[in-house]
Amino acid sequence: MNTITIKDGKEKQLLSHHPWVFSGAIDEVSAPSASNVKVLTSDLSFLAWGWYDKDSHIPVHLLSWNEDEVIDDTWWINTVKKSVLRRKQFFTDANGDTNCFRIIFSEADMIPGITADVYGKMIRIIISARVAWDHKDLFAKALDDLLHPEVIVITTDKSYTHVEGLKETTLFFKNGEYFTPDGKLDNVYFKENDLIFEVAPGSGQKSGFYCDQRDNRQRIEKYCKGATVLDGCCYTGAFTMHALRAGAKSVDSFDSSDPALRQLLRNIHINQNSNKLPENSREKVTTKVCNIFQELRVIEKDYYDVMILDPPKLAMKKSQVETASRAYKDMNRLAMEKIKDGGIIATFSCSGGVDLALLRTILAWSSMDSKVEIQILETLTAPSDHPVRLSFPESEYLCGYIIKVIK
């Protein structure tokens, strides 16, 4: 039998069902790479079943703490199905206001290294670990059999390809098999909060759209009526369109990606033509390709009523949290200095190491440096299709606050 023994004193977190075993915790390996293993404590008691891959930066992913469980293809397929069925309430609205949501959230759903999102009639799978790559065929077939999408797009997460020894890859799956598109695939349309969005299968950052901000976009609307709004790091404009629907006076939409901004404008036209946005929405929007950290230094003071700050992940690992914290502080300090008295800032972190408590501390530092008072109006997190697994705190990665600035 393939076994791995954990060093004495390194098993506490694992016994509490944390799924990651790093190399420093491993005492002895009696297994080939890329195989199921029985993980044992130092006294050779059963700890969990796992998957071992010597080439992964996390060499062992724990899968089950039930010794009677059999980890085989059926186990993987059933675990995928259970993850999807836990989102059954989202499918009841599939023809209503929203048909874009997450159905697999990696270790939070006990499936390491994979996220999967529904975008209307498309499923997008993103793989960030070798264990998920090795089982991608099972994932694709299970989701295809269960949901019958028009296409499944599988991509490797370029943030992790180097550390996992994977290549940047995009695959297409339909009707039980992989295929090579004959030309460009048709764009996919889906709805979030009754607004229409468009993505091109296989293109765009990560999933091509960030459904983890769905509830937060809706919550910011009430602050945008009649407001002059800055949407920093706007990507393809989901926050922008919610602000426009609320009746914003104007929206300045900034992003570092010119293709994303072009898609933003297309999304606005799509929603105007579908009577989801007021007719004059396009005229209210100004786009600019820029770096938000630089742009905040030169924007006009006392001009914006609402600022939305949703930067990309600034800390990929714990060693980067201090540097990321300084960047978040700089961004929020500048926003507090520039916004109108009584203005609203919606500020976010999607860096797992910068949680609600640390972000709150960062906002306190920012307010002291900018010599303003701030009031926290709302605390923001990811929606329920991105659950937090208590034994895996890393699943609580998205946090934010809506604050009022008093000068």
Spatial neighbors of 294 by CB under 8 A, at least 6 apart, are none
246 CB-near residues (< 8 Å, 6+ apart): 221, 222, 223, 224, 225
Beta-bridge partners for 137: none
Please tell me the distance from the alpha carbon of residue 317 to that of residue 353, in angstroms, as a whole number.
Answer: 7
The pair of structure tokens assigned to 383 is 């929606």
Where does the chain hold its CATH 3.40.50.150 domain(s)?
210-406
pLDDT in tens, the chain (407 residues): 899 999 999 999 999 999 999 999 999 999 999 999 999 999 999 999 999 999 999 999 999 999 999 999 999 999 999 999 999 999 886 557 999 999 999 999 999 999 999 999 999 999 999 999 999 999 999 999 999 999 999 999 998 999 999 999 999 999 999 999 988 888 999 999 999 999 988 765 555 688 999 999 999 999 999 999 999 999 999 999 999 999 999 999 999 999 999 999 999 999 999 999 999 999 999 999 999 999 999 999 999 999 999 998 887 777 888 988 999 999 999 999 999 999 999 999 998 889 999 999 999 999 999 999 999 999 999 999 999 999 999 999 999 999 999 99
Instruction: Write out the residue limits of the CATH 3.30.750.80 domain(s) in the chain.
Output: 74-179
Which ranges constitute the DSSP H helices of 278-392?
281-284, 292-298, 321-338, 356-370
pLDDT at 203: 66
Start and end residues for every CATH 2.30.130.10 domain found in the chain: 3-64
The span from the CA of 206 to the CA of 38, in Å, is 33
User: In CATH terms, is domain 3-64 a member of 3.40.50.1100?
Assistant: no
Instruction: Specify the pLDDT at position 316.
Output: 74
- Within 10 angstroms of residue 207's Cβ, the number of other Cβ atoms is 21
Query: How are beta strands 60-64 and 20-21 bridged, if at all?
Result: antiparallel
How far apart are the two ends of the chain, measured CA to CA in Å? 67
Give residue 261's pLDDT: 95
Sorted by sequence, the CB contacts under 8 Å of residue 325 that are 6+ apart come out as 354, 358, 362
Answer whether CATH 3.40.50.150 is correct for domain 210-406.
Answer: yes
Do the beta carbons of residue 103 and residue 84 sit within 8 Å? yes
Enter the tokens of residue 177.
């098999």
Length of the chain in residues, anyone? 407
pLDDT of residue 326: 93
Q: What pLDDT sits at residue 145?
A: 97
Residue 199 token pair:
């993505």
Place of tokens 């259970």: 82
pTM beyond 0.75: the answer is: yes
Q: According to the model, what pLDDT value does residue 184 have? A: 82
Tokens 């008072």: give the residue. 373
What's the fold here for domain 74-179?
Answer: Transcription Regulator spoIIAA (3.30.750)
Mark 386-399 as b/e (b = at least 16 C-beta within 10 Å): bbbbebbeebbbbb
